[in-house]
């Protein structure tokens, strides 16, 4: 990274299994964004588009708790089709015997894009009680801060802000002065 | 030996050994003389030839110190980090840590073989390396500013450091209190903050002597830090030198005769005092901010110090984090008492009436002042960045730098910083004005409308506070060196605090955009707040309580020991942002007004972050004489840190909660709070044993505090009163009993109430419920209603007039604790009313207050109802600080009083609503306890039933009343509210308790209890703040 490159914003991933309301997200997400965070949402039940539009989210993805019986890209290979069907049935059986939290965790783990979002997260936030379990599992795996509810995440960002601010400021100062040296 | 001679000597085989032995001393001398370049030559050459780990460690440490001294190119001297070095941040911190570790290892080795002097030298040098000024005062973040940095670990984990702070045998008990104590004020030259203290002490009857250890009387008397460090590690020669210094005729008599020795600033003077003050005298040390980043606090023998005074909560956190001997875990088991008392500031002249009265000059509206700017720690570069931001909006903005000009710093990094500041000032041209030092600050500040605190760290900024009281509008940077420890938010209201130059400029511009009268009012409120918090009148009594507790007399002439003492168990006391906080605040203040000393027992304020949060503006409204003891308790069920959850809690959250609630009720039959019983009992008992109480007042909920009342009564004989507020066995929402008399809860309630001297409730229906349930208690049940707070300094009367063309603004202020069905009904009625009435069609309905708590803040079912109605002009605006309540009402034309429950629920908001003089629409069940209060309010709209149609018509009627109400109608409405002012409601009960339990008329209490507790012979467990 060049000395004056801005530090990567803190990436906060909100995980929800119960559909949130706009009020539940509007003020807290704005507060997260105001603190310079990049906010992504991973929601089981995607609320109506108008709920998420204009919130300032940097992205959202649906968390499919049960794998669809119709694969997005059907294959012609009979072996592959057989394997897909078997996997689906096994997962379905597992899911039937599991709680929503466990299913949400499995769904996130088997979806590469969700996995990538969670892997790159700096802070994980469970929006509801059911989402605590997947967040707990991913937080333990990645050793990153994880909270139940956005207010606690905001407090965490506030507490961590001075360190990040100073790092950024030190880099900026260095860069500016280095340029002054070069330009004479 | 000159450096050149030394260099020749070290090259000569015959003299090399002797030269190497002299090298560290020579380097120290060269550094002291500011000849760092020569010192670098000596160190480099010495390192080339040196053998032996001790010498190598010592030279390595000196090399690190020189690198930190020289890390700059602007002075033309050697750079430690190449030509583009910009500050201490470019010195490799790992190298510094390694040098310190090597020195600490050398200290341990020396100590292991009994060489205490060498161990002390190494340890001291390691501390000097880690606490070098370049690392902690220039424009880089101090490594100590991060809690997790472990910057001092290499030293504080060493055996030598541990030996330094081994607990010594404390003197037996505290010195006996005396009348007119002799107080010795010791300084190391800086008496800047002592003037007010000295005046206060003299006023309190103390005989005060000052001892300036740099003055002509005692200059050179205190041994050098290295000697003090050696003495601390037990070196006999150093010990003898220290003893000799104390026996010197200049100070021996002063030390011998003093009852209390107060050392201002934790410098070498404090280290010396901790070694020489005789056991019969109390030793008090006051730390400001700079010492937290210096060596001396690590050398003081804290086991000899009786009390430590820190000048800000954020500094307390920092110091207790940085200095292990003052960490709570250590002091809790003995050691000094730690107090937080700000620097008293002489602000007690006539209060300014905003800018108008001080006749500010024309350019003041676009001028920001920084007072006392010319030091790196004040970070004037940051202020200049704020100016740049402001000038981007309007080039007419100016920066007024008040105070003495920059002195030439000793070290190159400081010189570089100064040069940069002066360059930026020159580049800014007329936009920056330097006034120089002034004795008449208010006069100079007539040129400024705003004052900025740009410092890296502060206590509370005495000069800043002086400027605020002079009428400037405050903008305070969240001081970065202490931001992780609470920062400026710990001492000022949150709205004053900014985190970046952009935020600072935004606040200034927002204030500038306000109308003149608003700015004037804001400035006056800020000045009032500063006076209340930091004025001598508020602070000095607290400080004197610490310095000379037995000799001080109260404002009413009574000695503290003769004033009645109330211990008030009030979980929810300010700064908790809870509705109960207002009643608790008023109760405590009323007792203080009647001459009581009040100690409030509550829980750690940060525990409220997990619930409804904090409202620090409430603390300003608490009488400064009220002492608050915070017990380290918090709700485990609201812990938001998912990583700390067990598998069971994460996997089965609902089952975990159910199980937890069952377990909670084992100590006391109340879920969530039951486990607090033992800690509350012990904490409150310790407070009472520290100073016997004349009365214990408990204010449930939580009802676990009932167990506390009984426990303290049984152990100490203190009579108690229960301020029940809503009651326990009454189901205020369901209008029946919550549990029977034979249940476990029922038995507890009966037992506790039977021993209570009085029981208070908030309305007559609840009082009657208790009279019926416990007929034998009937005469002891009293009603102490809630009310609105008229002593907040803000008038709730709304001056706004409705504008039918723009539509009306309906408002709801308070916790939205209705059921979602109830709220839906209200919202549906609102929607229907908008369709029926054309003015309402243009109107808005705003909810302010808490919606949901903890993780569900702003995210529960009620939030969903409000969100769905967004298209119909219904909005949610978040919680409101108490200080902003009047402004919030001021933006509305009519109020919605939606309440849960029925005949047992009064609510607190109804009183406040009436005090505004606005039309109030009731949206609650009938009959309802609020009716008794509203009866006779001329602008009350009372729908006949709680149905959508009735409410719809109610909204229409309320709109009509809002538009038609005359000034006389509103005045009549406010007159009706006048009798519900809170102190009028509470005062009769407080007066009754004062009569019965105050010292003027002591009551014979129940005979079957032990006599009141007496103070423990040994030094009591602290009840002030923290050990």
Segment A98-122, tens digit of pLDDT: 788 888 888 888 888 888 889 889 9
Q: Are residues B831 and B770 in the same domain?
A: no
Q: What is the mean pLDDT of residues B352-373?
A: 70
Cα A105-A108-A111 angle, rounded to 5 deg: 145
Last residue in a domain, options B534, B558, B585 = B534
Establish, for the pair of chains A and B, how many residue pairs have beta carbons separated by less than 8 Å. Answer: 127
Query: Would you tell me which residues 22-41 of chain A have a C-beta closer than 8 angstroms to some C-beta of chain B?
Result: 22-28
Mutate to test the interface with B, among A97, A155, A162, A175 (most CBs of B within 10 A): A162
Q: Collect all residues of chain A within an 8 Å Cβ-Cβ radius of residue B145.
A: 162, 166
* B432 within a domain of the structure (yes/no): yes
Last residue in a domain, options B129, B164, B199 = B164
Angle between helix B677-690 and helix B704-716 axes, rounded to 10 deg: 40
Q: Are residues B774 and B757 in the same domain?
A: yes
Report helix, strand and coil shares of chain B as percent, to nearest 5. 50, 15, 35
Nearest CA in chain A to B82: A178
Q: Are residues B449 and B597 in the same domain?
A: no
The verdict on a CB contact (< 8 Å) between B863 and A173 is: no
pLDDT in tens, B637-667: 888 899 889 999 998 888 999 999 999 999 9
CA torsion, points B865, B867, B872, B875, in degrees to nearest 10? 110
Q: Collect all residues of chain A within an 8 Å Cβ-Cβ radius of residue B484.
A: 159, 162-163
Mutate to test the interface with A, among B609, B642, B852, B871 (most CBs of A within 10 A): B642
Across the interface, which of B83, B641, B859 has its CB nearest the CB of A24? B859
* B992 within a domain of the structure (yes/no): no
* A152 interface with B at CB cutoff 8 Å: yes
> CA–CA separation, B984 vs B590, rounded Å?
10
Alpha-carbon gap: A130 to the closest alpha carbon of chain B (Å): 8
pLDDT in tens, B856-913: 666 667 777 887 787 888 888 877 776 677 778 888 999 998 888 777 776 778 888 8
Q: Collect all residues of chain A within an 8 Å Cβ-Cβ radius of residue B83.
A: 181
CA distances B1015 to B693, B713, B1004, Å, are: 11, 16, 21
Across the interface, which of B90, B645, B858 has its CB nearest the CB of A28? B858
Across the interface, which of B483, B500, B857 has its CB nearest the CB of A149? B857
Last residue in a domain, options B980, B995, B1013 = B980
Across the interface, which of A24, A173, A178 has its CB nearest the CB of B863? A24
Q: Are residues B380 and B474 in the same domain?
A: yes
Q: Which domain holds residue B160?
A: 3-164
- Do B975 and B955 meet the contact criterion of CB atoms below 8 Å apart? no
Nearest CA in chain A to B874: A23
ipTM of the prediction greater than 0.85, yes or no: no
Q: Are residues B243 and B196 in the same domain?
A: yes
Q: Collect all residues of chain B within an 8 Å Cβ-Cβ radius of residue A163.
A: 141, 146, 484
* B324 within a domain of the structure (yes/no): yes
The architecture that CATH gives domain A11-183 is: 3-Layer(aba) Sandwich (3.40)
The verdict on a CB contact (< 8 Å) between A146 and B854 is: no
pLDDT in tens, B250-292: 788 888 888 889 998 888 889 999 989 888 888 999 988 788 8
* B911 within a domain of the structure (yes/no): yes
pLDDT of B528 strictly over 70 = yes
Q: Are residues B320 and B420 in the same domain?
A: no
> CA–CA separation, B456 vs B765, rounded Å?
56
The verdict on a CB contact (< 8 Å) between A133 and B643 is: no
- Do B703 and B696 meet the contact criterion of CB atoms below 8 Å apart? no
> CA–CA separation, B290 vs B282, rounded Å?
24
Residues with Cβ within 8 Å of A131's Cβ and at least 6 positions away in sequence, in order, are A15, A16, A17, A18, A101, A104
Q: Collect all residues of chain B within an 8 Å Cβ-Cβ radius of residue A161.
A: 483, 499
Q: Are residues B753 and B847 in the same domain?
A: no
Alpha-carbon gap: A80 to the closest alpha carbon of chain B (Å): 34
Q: Are residues B660 and B708 in the same domain?
A: yes
* B171 within a domain of the structure (yes/no): no
Length reported for chain B: 1027
Q: Looking at the 3D structure of chain B, how many domains does it have?
A: 5
Q: Collect all residues of chain B within an 8 Å Cβ-Cβ radius of residue A29.
A: none
Q: What is the mean pLDDT of residues B436-456?
A: 85
* A68 interface with B at CB cutoff 8 Å: no
Nearest CA in chain A to B382: A169
For residue B693, give the CATH number of its domain.
3.40.50.2000
- Do B430 and B440 meet the contact criterion of CB atoms below 8 Å apart? no
* A139 interface with B at CB cutoff 8 Å: yes
* A105 interface with B at CB cutoff 8 Å: no
Q: Collect all residues of chain A within an 8 Å Cβ-Cβ radius of residue B381.
A: none
pLDDT in tens, B654-709: 899 999 999 999 999 999 899 999 999 998 998 888 888 899 999 998 999 999 99
* B546 within a domain of the structure (yes/no): no
* B487 within a domain of the structure (yes/no): yes
Percent of the residues in chain A that have a pLDDT greater than 70, as a whole number: 68
Across the interface, which of A23, A149, A178 has its CB nearest the CB of B84? A178
Mutate to test the interface with B, among A18, A127, A139, A149 (most CBs of B within 10 A): A149
Q: Are residues B665 and B762 in the same domain?
A: yes
Sheet holding B497-498, edge to edge: B432-436, B398-402, B367-371, B450-453, B473-477, B497-498
Q: What is the mean pLDDT of residues B836-850?
A: 88
Q: Collect all residues of chain B within an 8 Å Cβ-Cβ radius of residue A129.
A: 653-654
pLDDT in tens, A69-93: 455 566 678 888 788 778 777 777 7
Q: Are residues B777 and B874 in the same domain?
A: no
Kindly give the confidence (pLDDT) of every residue in chain A, 184 residues in length, as a single tens digit, with 9 standing for 90 and above: 444 455 678 899 999 887 666 666 777 788 888 888 889 888 887 666 556 777 778 887 887 776 544 555 666 788 887 887 787 777 777 766 778 888 888 888 888 888 888 988 999 999 888 899 999 999 888 788 999 988 888 888 887 765 555 554 444 443 333 333 232 2
């Amino acid at each position: 990274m060049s000395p004056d490159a801005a530090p990567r914003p803190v990436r906060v991933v909100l995980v929800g299994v119960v559909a949130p309301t706009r009020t539940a997200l509007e003020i807290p997400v704005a507060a997260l964004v105001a603190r310079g965070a990049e906010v992504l949402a991973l929601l089981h039940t995607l609320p109506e588009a108008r709920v998420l539009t204009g919130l300032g989210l940097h992205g959202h993805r649906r968390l499919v708790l049960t794998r669809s019986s119709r694969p997005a890209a059907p294959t012609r290979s009979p072996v592959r089709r057989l394997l897909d069907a078997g996997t689906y049935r096994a997962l379905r059986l597992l899911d039937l015997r599991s709680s929503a939290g466990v299913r949400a965790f499995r769904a996130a783990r088997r979806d590469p894009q969700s996995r990538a979002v969670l892997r790159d997260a700096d802070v994980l936030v469970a929006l509801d009680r059911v989402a605590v379990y997947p967040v707990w599992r991913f937080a333990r795996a990645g050793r990153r801060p994880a909270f139940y509810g956005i207010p606690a995440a905001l407090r965490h960002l506030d507490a961590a802000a001075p360190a990040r601010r100073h790092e950024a400021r030190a880099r900026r100062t260095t860069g500016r002065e280095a340029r002054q040296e070069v330009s004479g | 030996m000159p450096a050149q001679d030394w260099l020749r000597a070290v090259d000569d085989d015959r003299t090399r050994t002797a030269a190497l032995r002299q090298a560290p001393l020579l380097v120290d001398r060269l550094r002291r003389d500011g000849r760092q370049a020569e010192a670098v030559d000596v160190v480099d050459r010495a390192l080339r030839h040196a053998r032996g780990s001790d010498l190598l460690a010592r030279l390595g440490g000196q090399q690190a110190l020189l690198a930190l001294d020289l890390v700059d190119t602007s002075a033309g001297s050697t750079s430690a980090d190449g030509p583009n070095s910009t500050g201490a941040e470019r010195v490799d911190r790992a190298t510094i840590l390694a040098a310190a570790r090597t020195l600490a290892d050398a200290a341990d080795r020396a100590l292991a073989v009994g060489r205490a002097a060498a161990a002390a030298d190494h340890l001291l040098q390691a501390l000097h390396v880690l606490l070098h000024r370049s690392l902690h005062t220039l424009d880089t973040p101090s490594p100590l500013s991060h809690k997790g940095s472990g910057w001092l670990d290499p030293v504080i984990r060493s055996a030598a450091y541990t030996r330094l702070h081994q607990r010594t045998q404390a003197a037996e008990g505290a010195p006996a209190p005396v009348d007119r104590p002799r107080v010795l004020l010791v300084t190391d030259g800086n008496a800047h903050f002592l003037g007010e203290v000295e005046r206060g002490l003299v006023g309190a009857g103390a005989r005060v002597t000052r001892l300036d250890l740099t003055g002509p009387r005692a200059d050179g008397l205190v041994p050098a830090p290295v000697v003090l460090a050696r003495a601390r590690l037990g070196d006999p020669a150093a010990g003898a030198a220290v003893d000799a210094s104390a026996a010197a005729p200049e100070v021996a008599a002063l030390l011998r005769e003093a009852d209390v020795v107060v050392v201002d600033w934790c410098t070498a003077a404090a280290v010396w005092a901790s070694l020489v003050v005789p056991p019969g005298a109390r030793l008090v040390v006051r730390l400001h901010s700079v010492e937290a980043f210096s060596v001396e606090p690590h050398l003081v023998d804290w086991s000899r110090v009786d009390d430590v005074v820190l000048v800000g909560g954020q500094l307390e956190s920092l110091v207790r984090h940085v200095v292990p001997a003052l960490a709570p875990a250590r002091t809790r088991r003995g050691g000094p008492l730690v107090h937080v008392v700000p620097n008293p500031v002489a602000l007690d002249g006539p209060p300014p009436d905003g800018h108008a009265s001080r006749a500010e000059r024309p350019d003041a509206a676009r001028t920001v002042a920084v007072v006392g700017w010319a030091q790196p720690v004040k970070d004037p570069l940051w202020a200049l960045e704020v100016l740049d931001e402001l000038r981007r909006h309007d080039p007419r903005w100016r920066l007024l730098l008040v105070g003495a000009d920059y002195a030439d710093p000793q070290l190159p990094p400081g010189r570089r910083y100064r040069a940069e500041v002066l360059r930026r000032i020159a580049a800014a041209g007329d936009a920056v004005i330097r006034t120089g030092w002034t004795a008449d600050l208010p006069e100079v500040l007539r040129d400024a409308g705003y004052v900025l605190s740009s410092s890296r760290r502060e206590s509370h900024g005495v000069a800043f506070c002086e400027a605020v009281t002079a009428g400037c509008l405050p903008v305070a940077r969240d001081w970065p060196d202490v931001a992780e420890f609470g920062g400026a938010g710990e001492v000022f209201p949150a709205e004053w605090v900014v985190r970046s130059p952009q935020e600072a400029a935004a606040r200034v511009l927002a204030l500038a955009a306000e109308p003149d009268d608003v700015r004037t009012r804001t400035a006056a409120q800020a000045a009032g707040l500063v006076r209340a918090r930091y004025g001598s009148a508020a602070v000095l009594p607290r400080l004197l309580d610490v310095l000379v507790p037995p000799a001080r007399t109260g404002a009413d002439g009574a000695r503290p020991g003769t004033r009645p003492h109330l211990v008030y168990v009030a979980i929810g006391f300010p700064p908790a942002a809870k509705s109960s906080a207002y009643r608790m605040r008023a109760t405590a203040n009323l007792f203080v007004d009647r001459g009581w000393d009040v100690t409030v027992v509550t829980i750690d304020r940060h525990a409220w972050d997990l619930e409804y949060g904090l409202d620090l503006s409430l603390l300003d409204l608490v009488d400064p004489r009220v002492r608050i003891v915070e017990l380290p308790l918090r709700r485990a069920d609201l812990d938001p840190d998912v990583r700390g959850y067990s598998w069971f809690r994460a996997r089965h959250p609902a089952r975990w909660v159910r199980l937890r609630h069952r377990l909670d009720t084992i100590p006391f039959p109340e879920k969530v709070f039951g486990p607090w019983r033992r800690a509350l009992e012990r904490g409150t008992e310790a407070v009472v044993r520290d100073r016997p109480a004349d009365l214990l007042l408990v204010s449930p909920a939580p009802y676990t505090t009932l167990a506390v009342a009984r426990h303290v009564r049984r152990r100490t004989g203190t009579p108690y009163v229960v301020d029940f507020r809503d009651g326990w066995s009454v189901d205020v929402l369901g209008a029946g009993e919550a549990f029977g008399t034979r249940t476990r809860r029922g038995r507890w309630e009966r037992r506790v109430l039977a021993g209570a001297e009085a029981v208070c409730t908030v309305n007559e229906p609840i009082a009657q419920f208790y009279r019926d349930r416990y007929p034998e208690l009937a005469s002891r049940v009293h009603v102490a209603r809630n009310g609105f707070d008229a002593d907040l300094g803000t008038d709730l009367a709304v001056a706004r007039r409705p504008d039918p063309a723009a539509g009306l603004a309906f408002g709801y202020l308070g916790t939205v604790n209705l059921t979602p069905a109830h709220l839906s009904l209200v919202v549906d009625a609102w929607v229907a009313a908008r369709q029926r009435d054309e003015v309402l069609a243009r109107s808005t309905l705003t909810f302010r207050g808490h919606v949901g708590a903890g993780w569900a803040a702003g995210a529960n079912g009620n939030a969903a109802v409000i969100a769905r109605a967004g298209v119909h002009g219904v909005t949610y605006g978040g919680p409101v600080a108490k200080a902003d309540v009047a402004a919030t009402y001021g933006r509305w034309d009519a109020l919605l009083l939606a309440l849960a429950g029925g005949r047992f629920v009064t609510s607190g908001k109804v009183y406040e609503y009436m005090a505004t003089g606005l039309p109030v629409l009731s949206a609650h069940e009938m009959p309802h306890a609020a009716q008794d209060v509203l009866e006779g309010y001329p602008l009350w709209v009372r729908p006949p039933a709680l149905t959508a149609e009735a409410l719809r018509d109610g909204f229409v009627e309320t709109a009509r009343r809002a538009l038609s109400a005359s000034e006389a109608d509103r005045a009549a409405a406010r007159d009706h509210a006048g009798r519900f002012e809170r102190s009028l409601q509470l005062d009769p009960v407080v007066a009754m308790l004062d009569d019965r339990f105050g010292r003027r008329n002591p009551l014979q209490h129940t005979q079957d209890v032990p006599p009141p507790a007496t103070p423990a012979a040994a030094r009591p467990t602290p009840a002030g703040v923290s050990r």
